[in-house]
Amino acid sequence: MKHATKKMLITALILFCAGLFLTTVGYIVAAVNDVSVYDENERPKADVKSETYNLNQLTGGESFTNLEIRFQVGNVVITKVTGSNQSTVQVSAVDMATFGHGVKDGVLSLADDDAYPSTYYGFSFTSNGFGFNGLRQILNFASAGNKNRTLYINLASDMADLQNITIHCGAGNVIVRNFTVKDSVSVSVSYGNISVDNISIGGSFSASTDLGNISMNDSSYARCELASTRGNIQAYLTGNGNNTFDSVAGNVTIEVKNPLQKYEITMSTTTGSVYVGDVEIGSDYTHYPDSNEQSLGKIIATAIVGSVKISQRGETTPSPV
């Protein structure tokens, strides 16, 4: 290979790496600050078609105590409907022919693992050859054109509480609300947000996302772990339990219903600030309840690039505990 050719290849590689780095940094900053990096009007339009199935249609009448969902592209919503005596599964812009479902060993599985075999983050593989839609399309793929693909699971109000729920979503948002689970709930999302509201769990709750925000409100459990690689974490704690919140690039904001003095608190950040109420403490903070005070649980919150804040909701003049 000629010397000039080598120089051109090295220069091209350096420019590509620099472009990838700058684009990724910009996308992370935009995600943390909830800023869109593309024009909403440029998103491909999905063919929105909605269908509703009785849950018995998908289970064949078999009983189950655990629910497992794998949704590669699209949103997942699970809720218990007050006054409803029938559990249903509603799909929007989803072809059920590509959606696997069934009960095995007491586990109801719903999965679309094979729904998108020919497209992967901007690269397309077809019978006519190979295509690449650009670096922007790689970062845009997770959000573009699939926002209407949604799986709704509506649980009847008289349905027995499930033992465990496991959800994995590749690209999309997950919403869980208004139900009770005996043992555990686990949610993981690669690209998208997680929203949790008014759920009661006898054991543990965990939620993680690579690129997206996590919010949790009015929920009870024994243990909770929330983690976001690139995104914000927001939580409102109303009961007892041990909590761990970890964001690599994003802010952690915690509100509690009860006095802060009742919690064992450990907070730290590498490049941001720690706040108790509106008071900036520094880069780390630790508090232990008095020996005669009954602890409501542990709160451990960390952020590498971002701030960590804790406060009591409704407190008019917040101050360090």
- For the CA atoms of 112, 116, 121, 123, the dihedral, rounded to the nearest 10 degrees, stands at 160
- Interval 32-48: pLDDT, tens: 455 555 444 444 444 56
User: For a pLDDT cut of 70, what percent of the chain falls above it?
Assistant: 77
Average pLDDT over residues 138-162: 73
The pLDDT confidence band at residue 121, using thresholds 50, 70 and 90, is very low
At a CB cut-off of 8 Å and minimum separation 6, what does 248 contact?
Answer: 228, 229, 230, 303, 304, 305
Residues 257-306 pLDDT 10s? 999 999 999 999 999 999 999 999 999 999 999 877 788 999 999 999 99
Residue 141: half-sphere exposure toward Cβ, Cα within 13 Å? 18
Question: In whole angstroms, what is the distance from residue 188 CA to residue 229 CA?
Answer: 12
Structural domain spans, the chain: 1-37, 54-117+148-312
> Which of the four pLDDT bands, split at 50, 70 and 90, describes residue 189?
very high
Number of Cβ atoms within 10 Å of the Cβ of 147: 18
Q: What is the pLDDT of residue 98?
A: 72
CATH of region 54-117+148-312, choose from 1.20.1340, 2.160.20, 1.10.3210, 2.60.40: 2.160.20
Are the CB atoms for 200 and 180 separated by under 8 Å?
yes
**Token pair of 141, please?**
């793929």
The answer to whether residue 2 scores a pLDDT higher than 50 is yes
pLDDT above 60 for 133: no
Give me the pLDDT at residue 23, please: 66
| Cα–Cα dist 297/302, whole Å | 17
Tokens coding 74: 């699209």
pLDDT for 46: 44
pLDDT tens per residue, range 48-62: 678 898 988 888 889
Q: 15: exposed, middle or buried (C-beta count within 10 Å: 0-12, 13-18, 19+)?
A: exposed
Confidence check: pLDDT of 253 > 70: yes
pLDDT value, residue 38: 46
The answer to which of 116-120, 193-197, 234-238, 274-278 has the lowest mean pLDDT is 116-120
pLDDT-derived band at 244, boundaries 50, 70, 90: very high
Q: Quick one: average pLDDT of 209-225?
A: 96
pLDDT value at 131 more than 50:
no
297-317: average pLDDT? 89
In the predicted model, what is the mean pLDDT of residues 214-220?
95
